[in-house]
């Protein structure tokens, strides 16, 4: 398991109404408020704050210029401010953070756009045409209050650019060097919400549900950005914004699909299409940059693509193709449709994630074809493939783990033969073959420990050299293979030899695969059992020799601790517990 750390964001987050602003200020102990915000929402915030309000500042600017912060700090000092309330977009939030950096005053932020920066300990400031960022808990707001009604009048172009800015926070968390399972979950949900919400907002700006989704998506995106290091996207946006005075959200919106393509993210095409469908600038040229501006800039090739707004060099989205195939199963029975749908989605996803090439896919088809050619009545290469990839063991666990009171099951393996010969109790399966003699005394009971009489028990194993009878062309008839029936007391006795470790057949495609990945072909020593009786669930299992080779590296992943048995004294005493078929 990869080590990681994650610290939960301490910001209090409230989804509610601006009417609770005064209560939230009281919760923070703020009695002398500096209100940052334009009149549109600031006037209503001022009414709610009432006597708590001692000063207002309406000149917050994008990229948080240092000279603007210095003017705001003078207001703080002149009025004895003990807390800051910011109502607005990223500029208002940035100024509140800058004030907190210098004063440690508590912040209560009310976002009216989808920036997401209100959740972070990151502050970007601009001085002399250069934007610098720092990350410190001092600038992280204490409380964030989301009121969806404040976003209903946000113009669609601003909503779209702001939403893509938030989307960039979540996307960047996916390839951050310190990403972890929690940020992956937050980013995935944020991206889903924002990708779903922005087209709906563009179609109907008064759609409250869409606005709510975008707000929640921005919140989660901010949590992502706060938990990881900023990467290439933010470095480029901050650099260009500070140097050329570009609008913050629009710069993020333009650059996002190009950086995603540069990072090799599969959904870069989807984000490009989303951005192209929204009424926002789609190129750096529309923001005022020229070819000459990009000379000597970092990642100049990436920026030149974004300069024109041309489609970035990305793989096309294949979602429509996958959906077309899945839709073709609409008339299938429910279970068939479920199995085929998931199979196609998994296979398509695998091909896309691994960037599967034509040559690789043709090799895979050839591999399966060779497996088919080598398969016969006595050799099943496809079962070997399933076994060595662990799929057989997965299906075994899914099928049989629902009966925990029974003896654990195990894979069938490729060498089972239908209808082994009926053999009387006490018979010697080895019939003079070399090997250490083994006397088996088996009891079969139900889950209440009651003996199960007349149960059919198939037994098969390899010889001392690691071969099954079906692998030896010179062997005439079944060897080390039999079908018994338990007596009236549920007991079965027979003789055989102690099994030894052996290699699975490695002269075919599966063996070539094992060689290619540096895996050995050996199975831990075991004896196969299949126990069946009408009214009971059939048990297929194996008993492994304690102390035997390859118990910890069985090539088909079939060993289970409860099936490791002491064969050391030449005796095998074991009780199998089977359950009723309804269990």
Read off the pLDDT of residues 208-228 as tens digits, 9 standing for 90 and up: 999 999 999 999 999 988 998
| CA atoms of 281 and 289, how far apart (whole Å) | 12
Q: What pLDDT was estimated at residue 60?
A: 95
Q: Which residue has the higher pLDDT, 116 or 209?
A: 209
- Strands 456-460 and 526-532 come out as antiparallel
Whether 374 shows a pLDDT value over 70: the answer reads yes
Model confidence at 538, in pLDDT bands (50, 70, 90)? Answer: very high
Supply the pLDDT for residue 293.
93
pLDDT at 317: 67
- Are the CB atoms for 401 and 468 separated by under 8 Å? no
* Residues 533/446, Cβ–Cβ less than 8 Å: no
Going by pLDDT thresholds of 50, 70 and 90, the confidence category of residue 548 is very high
Give the integer Cα–Cα distance in Å for 414 and 529. Answer: 14
Task: Answer yes or no: are the C-beta atoms of 113 and 152 closer than 8 Å.
Answer: no
Look at residues 282, 290, 300, 279 and name the one whose alpha carbon lies nearest to residue 244: 290
**What are 350's two structure tokens?**
């695998």
Are the C-beta atoms of residues 376 and 429 closer than 8 Å to each other? no
- Tell me what pLDDT residue 225 has: 87
Extended strands (E) in 486-558: 491-497, 502-503, 522-523, 526-532, 539-545
Q: Which residues pair with 133 in a beta bridge?
A: 124
Neighbours of 374 (CB within 10 A): 17
Q: 3-class SS at 142?
A: coil
- What's the rounded Cα separation, in Å, for the pair 507 and 201? 61
563-574 residue pLDDT tens: 999 997 899 999
Nearest C-alpha neighbor of 499 from the set 520, 474, 475, 524: 524
pLDDT per residue as tens digits for the range 314-340: 766 677 788 899 999 999 999 999 999
Dihedral Cα 257, 258, 264, 266, nearest 10 deg = 20
User: 413's torsion region: left (phi>0), alpha (psi -120 to 50) or beta?
Assistant: left
Please give the Cα distance from 124 to 337 (Å, whole number): 52
Collapsing DSSP states into helix, strand and coil, what is residue 26? helix
Topology of domain 391-578, per CATH?
Protocatechuate 3,4-Dioxygenase, subunit A (2.60.130)
Judge: domain 156-308, CATH 1.20.1090.10.
Answer: yes
pLDDT confidence of 152, banded at 50, 70, 90? very high
Distances (CA, A) of 40 to 23, 48, 134: 21, 14, 31
Token pair 């304690």: residue: 546
State the pLDDT confidence band at 2, using cuts at 50, 70 and 90: low
- DSSP letter, residue 387: H
pLDDT at 353: 76
Helices of type H across 472-577: 509-517
Domain 12-151: give its CATH code. Answer: 3.40.50.1970
Using only the alpha carbons of the chain, give its radius of gyration. 34
Separation CA 400–CA 539 (nearest Å): 9
Nearest-angstrom CA–CA distance, 60 and 161: 19
CA distance 336 to 356: 27
Domains 12-151 and 156-308 are alike in CATH topology: no
Q: How many CB atoms lie under 10 A from the CB of residue 482?
A: 20
Residue 402 has pLDDT above 80, yes or no: no
Largest CA distance in the chain: 105
Name which of 22-26, 40-44, 344-348, 350-354 the model is least confident about. 350-354
User: Helix, strand, or coil here: 101?
Assistant: helix
Helix 300-308 / helix 248-262 crossing angle, nearest 10 deg? 120
pLDDT at position 297 is 87
**Which of 415, 432, 379, 400 shows the shortest CA–CA distance to 523?**
415
Residues ≥6 apart with Cβ < 8 Å to 68: 59, 60, 61, 95
Pick the more confident residue, 298 or 428. 428
Any residues with CB less than 8 A from the CB of 185 and at least 6 apart, and which?
A: none
Average pLDDT of the residues of the chain = 92
Q: What is the pTM of this model?
A: 0.59
| d(C-alpha 78, C-alpha 75), whole Å | 5
In angstroms, how far is the first alpha carbon of the chain from the final one?
35
Residue 512 neighbours by CB under 8 Å, 6+ apart: none
Domain residues of the chain, as ranges?
A: 12-151, 156-308, 319-353, 391-578
Identify the CA nearest to 19 among candidates 42, 47, 43.
47
Specify which residues 456 forms β-bridges with: 485, 532
- Residue 137 exposed, middle or buried by CB count within 10 Å (0-12, 13-18, 19+): exposed
DSSP characters over 44-99: HHHHHHGGGEEEEE----TT-BHHHHHHHHHHHHHHT--EEEEEESHHHHHHHHHH
């Amino acid at each position: 398991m990869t080590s990681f750390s994650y610290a939960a964001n301490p910001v209090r987050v409230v989804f509610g109404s601006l009417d609770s602003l005064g209560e939230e200020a009281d919760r923070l102990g703020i009695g002398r408020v500096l209100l940052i915000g334009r009149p549109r929402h600031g006037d209503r915030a001022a009414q709610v704050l009432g006597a708590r309000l001692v000063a207002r500042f309406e000149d917050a600017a994008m990229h948080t210029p240092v000279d603007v912060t210095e003017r705001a700090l003078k207001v703080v000092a002149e009025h004895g401010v003990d807390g800051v309330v910011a109502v607005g977009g990223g500029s208002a939030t940035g100024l509140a953070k800058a004030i907190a950096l210098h004063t440690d005053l508590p912040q209560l932020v009310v976002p009216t756009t989808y920036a997401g920066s209100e959740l972070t300990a990151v502050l970007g400031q601009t001085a002399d045409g250069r934007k610098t960022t720092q990350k410190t808990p001092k600038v992280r707001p204490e409380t964030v209050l989301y009121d969806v009604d404040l976003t209903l009048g946000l113009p669609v172009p601003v909503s779209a650019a702001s939403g893509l800015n938030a989307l960039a926070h979540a996307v960047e968390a996916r390839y951050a060097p310190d990403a972890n399972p929690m940020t992956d979950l937050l980013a995935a949900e944020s991206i889903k919400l924002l990708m779903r919400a922005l087209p709906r907002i563009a179609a109907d700006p008064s759609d409250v549900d869409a606005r709510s989704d975008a707000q929640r998506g921005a919140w989660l995106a901010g949590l992502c950005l706060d938990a990881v290091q900023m990467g290439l996207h933010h470095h480029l946006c901050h650099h260009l914004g500070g140097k050329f005075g570009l609008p913050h959200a629009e710069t993020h919106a333009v650059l996002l699909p190009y950086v995603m393509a540069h990072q090799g993210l599969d959904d870069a095409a989807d984000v490009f299409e989303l951005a192209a469908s929204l009424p926002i600038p789609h190129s750096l040229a529309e923001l005022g940059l020229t070819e000459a501006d990009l000379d000597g800039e970092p990642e100049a090739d990436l920026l030149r693509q974004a300069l024109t707004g041309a489609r970035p060099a990305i793989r096309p989205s294949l979602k429509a193709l996958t959906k077309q195939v899945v839709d073709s199963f609409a008339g299938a029975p429910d279970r068939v449709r479920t199995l085929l749908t998931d199979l196609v989605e998994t296979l398509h996803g695998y091909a896309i994630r691994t960037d599967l090439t034509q040559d690789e896919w043709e090799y895979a088809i050839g591999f399966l074809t060779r497996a088919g050619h080598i398969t016969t009545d006595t050799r099943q290469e496809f079962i070997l493939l399933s076994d060595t990839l662990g799929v057989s063991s997965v299906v075994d666990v899914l099928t049989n783990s629902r009966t925990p009171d029974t003896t654990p099951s195990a894979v069938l393996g490729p060498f089972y033969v239908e209808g082994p010969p009926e053999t009387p109790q006490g018979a010697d399966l080895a019939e003079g073959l070399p090997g250490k003699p083994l006397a088996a005394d088996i009891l079969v009971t139900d889950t209440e420990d009651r003996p199960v009489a007349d149960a059919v028990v198939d037994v098969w194993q390899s010889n001392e050299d690691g071969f099954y009878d079906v692998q030896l062309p010179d062997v005439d008839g079944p060897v080390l293979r039999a079908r018994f029936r338990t007596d009236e007391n549920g007991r079965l006795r027979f003789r055989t030899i102690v099994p030894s470790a052996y290699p699975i057949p490695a002269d075919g495609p599966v063996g070539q695969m094992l060689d290619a990945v540096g895996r050995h072909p050996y199975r831990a020593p075991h004896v196969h059992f299949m126990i069946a009786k009408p009214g009971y669930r059939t048990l297929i299992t194996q008993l492994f020799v304690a102390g035997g080779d390859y118990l910890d590296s069985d090539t088909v992943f079939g060993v289970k601790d409860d099936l490791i048995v002491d064969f050391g004294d030449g005796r095998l005493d074991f009780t199998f517990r089977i359950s009723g078929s309804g269990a």
